[in-house]
């Protein structure tokens, strides 16, 4: 067997080990590579920044244990961004596990707020908790909050929450912030809130979902998107709030570089093998 054949048939566990080293190295020894702000992230940031003070936004927290490390830092920055601007937030989650991580993001963001920032539970923000039913649940919630849920995540009856006084459907919201992670649920927000109520929407998805949502951005139905850990890192950068996402974005770069080299080598070796007429 020629060297090229051996390389093309290399045990995949060696590739796993190489990838593990490439991804772990930048975490153990942080390295900064140059990074541009992507157009979609800039658009999402500009939109978020234009939400007027005093308005209320509805926020879906859809990050789970797997996706929180990449989207969580950005979600924390988004909450920080809104509360420091004086925008009030109504959170909810359509996933059970995601509900837990939404609480974690809220608590992390509250811990980072500058002293004196108004961030009282029930007044400046409220977490409605888990809403069952997927897209039908979203449709029900935004058309009649009180018919869908009776109390918030912490057990406070809806009618005792000052922020929800006079708020019972999506017409009271100025924007939709949909941090759907890998749920693929952003179209729920577009179909059930943005289109019927005419409310602009932005948010975050994992990197692999970004191409699926780019047609919505081109159509003006989605005001940009923060994609994966890079989107989170860019949001941290734009808000001048360096956090964990920047370091992780660098590790992704290292993994991407190695992967690209492997794909190119694989194709070159395959081409050589074919020209030699080898099987």
**Please, what is the minimum distance in Å from the beta carbon of residue 84 to other proteins?**
26
Site for other proteins in 148-177 (CB under 8 A): 148-151
Nearer to other proteins, 86 or 184 (CB): 184
What is the biggest distance separating any 2 CA atoms in the chain, rounded to whole angstroms?
77
Question: Which of these ranges, 40-48, 115-123, 130-138, 264-272, lies near other proteins under the rule CB under 8 A?
Answer: 130-138
Cβ distance to other proteins smaller for residue 49 or 132: 132
Q: Does 13 bind other proteins (CB under 8 A)?
A: yes
Answer for the pair 95, 64: CB distance below 8 angstroms, yes or no: yes
> The tokens of 55 are what?
């308005």
250 closest CA partner among 236, 229, 264: 229
String of DSSP letters for 178-205 = EEEETS--HHHHIIIIIHHHT--EEEEE
Residue 57, beta-bridge partner list: 89, 175
Nearer CB in complex with other proteins: 118/157: 157
Task: Among 45, 68, 178, 226, indicate the residue that binds other proteins (CB under 8 A).
Answer: 68
Nearer CB in complex with other proteins: 155/166 = 155
DSSP 8-class letter at 52: P
Closest CA to 189 of 229, 216, 150, 228: 216
Which residues make up the interface to other proteins (CB under 8 A)? 9, 11-13, 16, 19-20, 23-24, 27-28, 66-70, 96-97, 99-100, 129-136, 139, 148-151, 182, 187, 190-192, 194-196, 206-211, 215-216, 218-221, 227-229, 244, 247-248, 251-252, 255-256, 259
């Amino acid at each position: 067997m020629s060297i090229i054949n051996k390389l093309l048939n290399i045990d995949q566990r060696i590739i796993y080990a190489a990838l593990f080293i490439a991804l772990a190295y930048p975490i153990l020894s942080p390295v900064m590579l140059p990074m541009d702000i992507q157009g979609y992230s800039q658009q999402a940031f500009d939109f978020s920044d234009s939400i007027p003070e005093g308005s209320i936004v509805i926020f879906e927290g859809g990050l789970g244990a797997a996706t929180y490390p990449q989207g969580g830092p950005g979600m924390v920055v988004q909450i920080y961004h809104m509360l420091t601007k004086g925008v009030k937030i109504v959170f909810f989650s359509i996933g059970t596990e995601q509900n837990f991580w939404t609480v974690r993001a809220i608590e992390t963001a509250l811990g980072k707020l500058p002293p004196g920032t108004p961030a009282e539970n029930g007044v400046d923000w409220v977490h409605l908790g888990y809403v069952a039913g997927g897209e039908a649940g979203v449709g029900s919630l935004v058309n009649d909050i009180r018919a869908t849920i009776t109390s918030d995540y912490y057990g406070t009856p809806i009618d005792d929450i000052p922020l929800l006084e006079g708020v019972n459907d999506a017409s009271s919201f100025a924007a939709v912030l949909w941090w759907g992670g890998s749920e693929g649920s952003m179209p729920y927000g577009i179909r059930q809130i943005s289109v019927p109520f005419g409310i602009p929407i932005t948010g975050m998805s994992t990197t692999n979902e970004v191409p699926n949502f780019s047609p919505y951005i081109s159509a003006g139905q989605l005001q940009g998107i923060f994609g994966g850990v890079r989107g989170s890192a860019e949001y941290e950068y734009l808000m001048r709030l360096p956090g964990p996402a920047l370091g992780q974005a660098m590790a992704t770069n290292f993994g991407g570089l190695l992967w690209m080299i492997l794909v190119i080598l694989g194709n070159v070796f395959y081409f050589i093998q074919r020209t030699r007429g080898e099987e």
